[in-house]
Structure 1
């Protein structure tokens, strides 16, 4: 028993001291207190910062299990599972991929669309995140659905998965949506119909013009009804004359989405989109160095022939850049529309599979236990000992443990 206890506490101390694999965690542990001295944060930003700093350190507790046959102890510090934490997104991504793969329709094309807004809108969007990000989703999906229902293009309602990104490679504000759109959909008569044009789903200029019109029309109504908040770099827009000039500027610009037939049937459609659905503002792998004052990270400069470069900023500035991309509480940055709308997804998918004489197998990860998920995703049996294959007994999860001197 004594040797087991020594081994147990030695294992705990090793885990608490090892931070090398998670440089972003180290950044928040090192600079967040200093950042709070000169910056105001929202409740959700503060919660995110604390989660990242405590993730997999033991501060959130441990998952502990022991083998009743040989006494082997398995210890894993609990992850925070915060959606903005880059340290614990991989299991969630794998689970999401398995769920979404069951919603693909075999034999049809899938299209990757990217909707962006002019950079002049970024300050206003940041001041009204929940309102304008929701408008972004609504206008993009409505544009695609409206045009796809046109017999010139598809004459049917496709399935759409939309993912919001608010950042650029340098952690700057760059709001855009990634959409995966099926190349076929359900007609008003209940038949399945594929797009008439291979290689593109809808002409980008047509789509861009409609998207701009829908967005700007709603934006004007929001200003007139007093729904918009003005702070930071957009305070001047309270003034009617500044607002009118601002709107005229935006309406003169071309809002051109990017459209590409990236996917083919079941190929890598969901795996590709999952990188956007569960990618945080920056990953640990892009952090080059962290010292007492600064943080250096890699980025791709798309304006300079996609060259790889390194940017160095103060530690507190890195935290500011990162936290500006933390979404409001309860806001979903992955949304479904068309025949994939949550309230009718299962019904519509069964209908499509019936029309195509294929079998709908349903969500393979729904209602699975943690042990079953680990076996499915990682082929790892957490119910049996890795040493002797004996039965593992799990202690209650989430009990913080400390080492007493």
Structure 2
């Protein structure tokens, strides 16, 4: 039996589903793209072998970011671009995770919270790296957002691929004070990360930027803030055993991958 695909499921069951469910314009656009991808609906090209003259027809791809058939080329291009940026120095792989108490806010204000997550993680790395106790220099790093876990639960975290070293004020390369592969302790990073994001959250609350936050009411706001202060903000770090290329291989699988991929279907 052929393996199921998302496009096949939408073609088979789509009409009955859409009779009782309304789609937003964005959802409808993605739905049409997935159903039409690599079919006659999008047209195609005829390829001919220059040696034997054999011909075949190839249907065009939809290139919609939600289509599970269309991300391989973009993924490989992203990976190749990041590899060109890698320096010939040791790297570390860091992960900054938000407490699940912020999930309702992410649903209501995703752009704001993802931006705050990126800014807070970057500011944490730069602040600790600037401290002469650890490095006293500016490192290079790339950040990649992940929004779900392996079981497709909402799990907001950002991955950082960071150099174990950086440029000081005179433009000289410096290595970490405690060894070529140790940047700074995760416990310190966790506290700084939490402080920076909560500062952003408090400022947005005072300015009214998050007026329709599910926890905007005074009692709910204080309760969530107490929960966030009590929560252990998870920061994870380790040297990549296979070097930066291995981390980029891992990240590339998710930068251009949708949750409803064909290999998840039974």
Cα distance in 2 between the residues matched to 1:34 and 1:128? 32
Cα distance in 1 between the residues matched to 2:171 and 2:105? 41
Out of 178, 202, 206, the position equivalent to 2:159 is: 178
Cα distance in 2 between the residues matched to 1:42 and 1:189? 54
Q: Is the 8 A contact 2:97 2:233 kept in 1?
A: yes
Q: 1:58 to 1:175 in 2, by over 3 A?
A: farther
Cα distance per residue 1:68-110 (max 9 Å; x no partner): 776432321111222232212112222222222111111x211
Cα distance in 2 between the residues matched to 1:229 and 1:36? 33
CA apart distance, 1:139: 0.8
Out of 156, 164, 187, the position equivalent to 2:137 is: 156
Structure 2 partner of 1:64? 46
Cα distance in 2 between the residues matched to 1:190 and 1:110? 19
| TM-score, normalised by the number of residues in structure 2 | 0.88
Q: Is the 8 A contact 2:47 2:58 kept in 1?
A: no
Cα distance in 1 between the residues matched to 2:123 and 2:131? 13
Query: Does 1:272 find its partner at 2:254?
Result: no
| Corresponding pairs, count | 265
Cα distance in 1 between the residues matched to 2:172 and 2:224? 45
Residue 228 of structure 1: SS of its match in structure 2? coil
Cα distance in 2 between the residues matched to 1:38 and 1:195? 60
Query: Does 1:83 find its partner at 2:65?
Result: yes
CA apart distance, 1:204: 1.0
Query: Does 1:206 find its partner at 2:206?
Result: no
Structure 1: gaps spanning 5 or more residues: 1-18, 289-405
Higher-Rg structure is 1
Structure 2: gaps spanning 5 or more residues: none
Q: 1:137 to 1:44 in 2, by over 3 A?
A: farther
Cα distance in 1 between the residues matched to 2:128 and 2:209? 29
- What aligned pairs does 1:251-330 form with structure 2 within 5 A after superposition? 251-263=229-241, 265=243, 267-288=245-266
CA apart distance, 1:260: 1.0
Cα distance in 2 between the residues matched to 1:225 and 1:42? 31
Q: Which moved more, 1:22-31 or 1:93-102?
A: 22-31
Q: Is the 8 A contact 1:157 1:186 kept in 2?
A: yes
- What aligned pairs does 1:323-338 form with structure 2 within 5 A after superposition? none
Query: Does 1:114 find its partner at 2:95?
Result: yes
Out of 147, 151, 159, the position equivalent to 1:166 is: 147
- What aligned pairs does 1:5-404 form with structure 2 within 5 A after superposition? 20=2, 23-39=5-21, 41-66=23-48, 71-106=53-88, 108-196=89-177, 197-228=179-210, 230=212, 235=214, 237-263=215-241, 265=243, 267-288=245-266
CA apart distance, 1:112: 1.2
Q: Which moved more, 1:78-87 or 1:276-285?
A: 276-285
Q: 1:199 to 1:37 in 2, by over 3 A?
A: farther
Residue 40 of structure 2: SS of its match in structure 1? coil
Q: Is the 8 A contact 1:32 1:49 kept in 2?
A: no
Cα distance in 1 between the residues matched to 2:17 and 2:197? 36
| TM-score, normalised by the number of residues in structure 1 | 0.60
Cα distance in 2 between the residues matched to 1:136 and 1:228? 15
Residue 93 of structure 2: SS of its match in structure 1? strand
Q: 1:40 to 1:192 in 2, by over 3 A?
A: farther
Cα distance in 1 between the residues matched to 2:233 and 2:31? 35
Q: 1:279 to 1:131 in 2, by over 3 A?
A: same
Higher helix share: 2
